[in-house]
Amino acid sequence: MRNKKHIYKILLLLSFLLCGTVVFSQNNKQKELETRLQELRREIQKINELRAENKSKEKSQISLIEDFNYKIRVLSNLIKVTNQQANLLTREINTNQNKITNLRDELSQLKEDYAAMIVKSYKSKNQQSRIMFLLSSNDFKQAYKRLQYIKQYSDHQKQQGETIKAKTIELQETNSNLLKQQDNKNKLIAENKAVQKSLETERKEHEALMKSIKKNLSLYASQIKQKQREADRIDAEIDRIIKAAIAASNKKAGATKTTNSTSFALTPEEKVLASNFVSNKGKLPWPVEKGVVRLGYGTQPHPIDKSLTIKSNGVRIATEKGAKVMAIFDGEVSEIIKMKNVNPIVMIRHGNYLTLYRNLSHVYVKKGDKVKTKQVIGEVFTNPSNGETILSFAISKGVSTENPASWIYKM
């Protein structure tokens, strides 16, 4: 009988250890999902604020499609995360329900053992007093051992009572957590339904707009190609300016073979700056205080005509009217680029890395200025015809472009 009880207690202990490991893992995952959920909620709020700000303006069909695509993507991600969180809560609820069952079983066993102990103690007192038990000892050593046994037995009784009390409190807390988890799950399900409804509305409006665009797709395709040619022209000029800046810098530094060089020859101070820039990868601040990425980095199909591609050397960030542009890291203004029919571009050097801030209406710095992280360097241009305020932002290592999303915090 004792062996069976011993095995039962071991199984209960293993069960609790396993539950503890699972709960710890689930709590970490739940925190990650909650953080992501908050980010997506803020992103949707920013999208809605920017939409409301430009509501009175007549946007181009291409811009509207980009808006729809972006919001649909964020809403889809929000649904995905709420589903993951709801599923995780379901698992946590099941874990807690199992824990409650185990706690009740353990509590029942503890109470049973405690009751048996009390009965045994009571019987022992009736049959023989403690004093007689001690006096009947053969010698002092045996009497001492019997005294220790009585004390240990008494302590064990108290410990059992405390254990029962602690397990009762743990059971109550687990029940309380279970109710909270069920309430959180119900809230997530309600939010998920609301987001799905919003997503359905966005998709219907997107489909209606696409239907009207497809009636004159050739016209839009022509506009898209023209925009890409203009973007390529700007990128080529920027590339030329970067190469010239590298050549001039390397010549000044006394480096050889500067003509075809694609990277800066660095001074010891510039090496430190570049190293600090790299060590902050993924933690760098946004170049604007409020904004959402309308177009990501890299080559991608166009949202209107999938047969056409967009090549983006950086990201396009939609922001609010009058938005100030900030340097994302310490550096030196390498160039203020001015081109025909193009708004000013600020190029800042961070050792052998460059950051470019395009489509500015006002520039507050000049070539050669030393700038600090988050220092305001200009203001984003707002298109008067459609009310859009878009900052084009890029990062490169020498002439090789980099994905800003890998560098900027939570882009």
pLDDT digits (tens), the chain, 411 positions? 555 555 555 555 555 555 555 555 667 887 888 888 888 888 888 788 777 766 655 667 777 887 888 888 889 988 998 898 888 888 888 877 887 777 777 777 767 776 776 666 655 554 445 555 555 666 767 666 766 766 666 666 667 667 777 777 877 887 788 788 888 888 889 999 999 999 999 999 888 888 888 777 787 788 788 888 998 999 999 999 999 999 988 887 776 554 457 789 899 999 999 999 999 999 999 999 989 898 899 998 887 778 888 899 999 999 999 999 999 999 999 999 999 899 999 999 999 999 999 999 999 999 999 999 999 999 999 988 878 899 999 999 999 999 999 999 988
CB 280 within 8 A of CB 273: no
Which of 27, 13, 29 has its CA nearest to residue 96?
A: 27
The pTM (predicted TM-score) of the whole model is: 0.66
Both 207 and 273 in one domain: the answer is: no
pLDDT given for residue 172 in this prediction:
81
Both 182 and 233 in one domain: the answer is: no
Residue at a domain's end among 192, 214, 236? 214
Both 278 and 337 in one domain: the answer is: yes
Both 175 and 252 in one domain: the answer is: no
The CATH number covering residue 265 comes to 2.70.70.10
CB 155 within 8 A of CB 117: no
Look-up of token digits 């040619």: 229
Both 161 and 261 in one domain: the answer is: no
Both 155 and 242 in one domain: the answer is: no
Asked whether residue 15 is assigned to any structural domain, the reply reads: yes
Both 263 and 337 in one domain: the answer is: yes
The residues, any chain, with a CB within 8 Å of residue 396's CB and separated by 6 or more, are: 242, 313, 353, 354, 356, 402
Asked whether residue 234 is assigned to any structural domain, the reply reads: yes
Asked whether residue 105 is assigned to any structural domain, the reply reads: yes
Q: Radius of gyration of the chain from Cα atoms?
A: 35
Both 117 and 64 in one domain: the answer is: yes
Asked whether residue 221 is assigned to any structural domain, the reply reads: no
pLDDT given for residue 376 in this prediction:
98
Both 162 and 78 in one domain: the answer is: yes
Both 273 and 193 in one domain: the answer is: no
pLDDT given for residue 235 in this prediction:
93
Asked whether residue 326 is assigned to any structural domain, the reply reads: yes
pLDDT given for residue 258 in this prediction:
44
Both 169 and 249 in one domain: the answer is: no
Asked whether residue 118 is assigned to any structural domain, the reply reads: yes
Both 248 and 168 in one domain: the answer is: no
Asked whether residue 411 is assigned to any structural domain, the reply reads: no
Residue at a domain's end among 153, 182, 214? 214
**Structural domain count, the chain:** 2
57 is in which domain, residue-wise? 2-214
Asked whether residue 141 is assigned to any structural domain, the reply reads: yes
